[in-house]
Structure 1
């Protein structure tokens, strides 16, 4: 006759699942649920503690076992329904529907996707595809969740990526890159990577990527700049024909508070002044953009911007005088 009772490892995992289901269990309840003795439960609790799970025990009539909070977060044991729920929630958060959570959600989703069974991965994708979100006043660019997870995994594992990339005019090229980091700006996701065909560093907008293929070709990491610093500089000025540098007569913190972090780069100069770098397609729009900060500024680069600011200022001054009736003939 074959013994069908669970082995020690299976029993400890089952015990952990029970402790995660509700706040407190008595030893006899756990023994009954697992088909063993209270003495064995005590030994299994000790094993969980050795693995880093803070299982607290209390004595007396109302005593029992409960899973406490530890200094570090131990692995969670999720059933199928819980794993699907967590993965769907992380996909939505990574897509920007939860403010400030995109990058942390993507890291967690990448870890979960690595161990998620394929049968559950299909369920997660099906549920996610059936969900729509109503965009806010500033809509985020749409990024494919599967591509996002795949690219994050390639950055983690240092493996080459291949994808189709559409430039600003819509023309598509095939790219082979070594990926180094993903950066979220609130509205968009960017990839910092070394472009193998162009032999240079590049920034790629993920909403312009297509046909993403993760290769098995591992690479040795090159010395590189911090991805956040690199992407921030690239998206604030590099893509634009006009590179702008102005001095604000205000503290750096006050000027930063007036603009989205992805739109400008602000560096303190003195206690009461700072330097702002940005870029734009139209200098008149840049002039208006700089004016809304509510602080005085002077143009350092380019000289043409000072002339445009003067012209825009004159128009605003006329508008501030109120309706001007044309002279009668």
Structure 2
């Protein structure tokens, strides 16, 4: 009986995970997912129907089973693997991606309280201790209400009234350098990249050419929903990643490090942004050029990262970073002159190389 109940719950979970408009789940697929025969699946379907669940049989070549409309599923219907996946996700994702660490911790505690004893024990067995990687950085705090307003407006194609905030979250007063009057925007995409939430919007304005696509940090916006609808538009250029990564005015600031420097690279912003470490800032400064601002635990660390882009560097700042580049250049020259006979002091080796030339 316990196995039958567990299998019936898993069957209900599989049916509930399939959207109403998608293809039904075939009998053979259900049997394979449940690890049982087709006759057993049919019996379990009848068991669920007897408990009041409306499970429709879809006939024809693409037929199978589908959960009927209007069903009220239990609020937490997880099988063993789903419960473990949720526990891991809630413990690992918030600090580096969502900026909702406290809310995720409360959600995990709530799930523990309402889960059946067996699943709760499995979830608690995966209480993780996360060791910080120095390339990780905390996601900026974000108001769940702002995130919800942005997501709802994107889904419902409704205009938002947006006001830009300072990096510290305060509202600039009229006359301040940071002040920009509230404006009406058409939100099209909600994007997560490098631990930050972005809203991609179309902002038509008189006298502004083209489609005027903009990228904004959600945590830097004060959003007010409206009931006005807009028509969805195709993104100019068609590449959402290029737009987000290559936008110079999306509101980013570098993550906090012991050392922070910058350089101008002879590469387009969208190319550098794809490979720049998290917490860095890429600015478009002209055709085929951009400025990369990044941090590391040492000046040599920054110089080494810049070298990985294998392109010309100019306008390197500050002076400590310039000196670190010179030191690394000397070390790399030593490697180039190494003939495999043993260690030689760098200046002596370079002298030997000149003598042999």
TM-score, reference length from structure 1 = 0.48
